[in-house]
Amino acid sequence: MTHSKLQIAHLLKAIGSDEDFETLASKSFEHQYKRNKSFKTYIDLIGKSTASAAGSPAFLPVELFKTHDVRCNELNDLLFLSSGTSAASERAKHFVHDKFLYKDLATAHFEEKYGPLEDWVILALLPSYIENGESSLVLMADGFIKTAHKNSKFLLHKPEALLEEFNHLRKSNQKTLLIGVSYALLDFCEKHPISFPELVVMETGGMKGRRKELTRSELHDALKKGFPSSEIHSEYGMTELLSQAYSSDGKWFSPPRWMKAFTTEVSDPFKVLGPNQRGLLAFIDLANYHSCSFIQTRDIGVVNDQGIFTVEGRLDKSDLRGCNLLYT
């Protein structure tokens, strides 16, 4: 299956049913099996080359983005790297063949959830991501800022500048989104609590080694103390996934129509579970058309019968069965 960049974006945004999704997932599987050497090798090793892509999916362990080139094309627009928590951290690599597809789909999903970007002031507080470079989150925020209200901007770790922005915007009751890394949001609101009803605070998770890790409920409780009249939302994204999911209640994440969430057994990630069963989260992300759409994560959660999912923690210090198959 070959499509122009414009056709792929149109096809994904036009998905209207499970049948549409399954058809495109099957075609993506065929494309990636033929063009992505790492994916083909893995699928052959586990004997899943004839499996139904959507009905009985086989997921590539996310760790392989650190050790292999997971891509269908030699020519790519850019490279995303995971943030890492230390200089010694091995960073995952995601080769992006079409940055405009990434930006287009990110904007489409955001606007479906939150309305036109031009109605929002977007303030991005992402110091560690900017410092590390090659961040998918920074590119997404940059695209939002360029489309949104003229007062939208990046703000590094400068609490006084952010406080000044808030004081200016709340005078005009301007709808505002503050998207930020967790530790920077906490650093700000602990020193400068502010009442701003038109503000939505969106945490992107993770302390990046700067502060003690918190559960999401603990994080949201702390943020609510600093932003008592604001809604606290969450964004779920990964370097290895080109799509994002959003939560307005701190628990359930809604993916776009071109991404589906699954859970698999912790002890056997080849076994896909049914709705409302806790396991390892896995995704079919059709935005990953040029890399790999079938991703097994190390996050633990639940997917309900409507396709929305929770993220309850991360599996650490335990190898998934199958992860080492490409090392042999």
| Domain spans in the chain, listed from the N-terminal domain onward | 5-84+258-327, 116-239
- Residue 54: the pLDDT is 58
Q: What is the mean pLDDT of each run of 10 residues along the chain (328 residues)?
A: 70 95 94 96 85 73 96 94 69 94 96 98 91 90 97 87 93 96 94 96 82 88 97 97 96 97 94 96 97 96 97 70 39
Eight-class DSSP state of 123: E
For residue 177, the cross-strand partners are 122, 200
Task: Give the whole-angstrom CA distance, residue 102 versus residue 123.
Answer: 20
| 277: region left, alpha or beta (phi > 0 left; psi from -120 to 50 alpha) | beta
Q: Quick one: pLDDT at residue 317?
A: 54
**pLDDT given at position 55:** 61
325 CB neighbour count, 10 Å cutoff? 14
Angle CA(100)–CA(105)–CA(109) in degrees, nearest 5? 150
Q: Do 129 and 138 form a contact (C-beta atoms < 8 A)?
A: yes
How much is the pLDDT for 51?
Answer: 54
Return the closest-CA partner of residue 243 out of 103, 132, 54: 103
Question: Can you give the pLDDT at residue 207?
Answer: 73
Q: How far apart are CA 293 and CA 316, in angstroms?
A: 23
Place of tokens 């409507």: 306
Pairing of strands 78-81, 93-96: antiparallel
pLDDT at 148: 98
Q: Is the dihedral of CA 13, 64, 181, 277 positive or negative?
A: positive
116-239: CATH class: alpha beta
Q: Are 155 and 123 in contact (CB under 8 A)?
A: yes
Q: Is 304 helix (H, G, I), strand (E, B) or coil?
A: coil
Taken as a whole, the chain contains a residue count of 328
Structure tokens at 191: 């020193």
d(CA 185, CA 176): 15
pTM of the model: 0.91
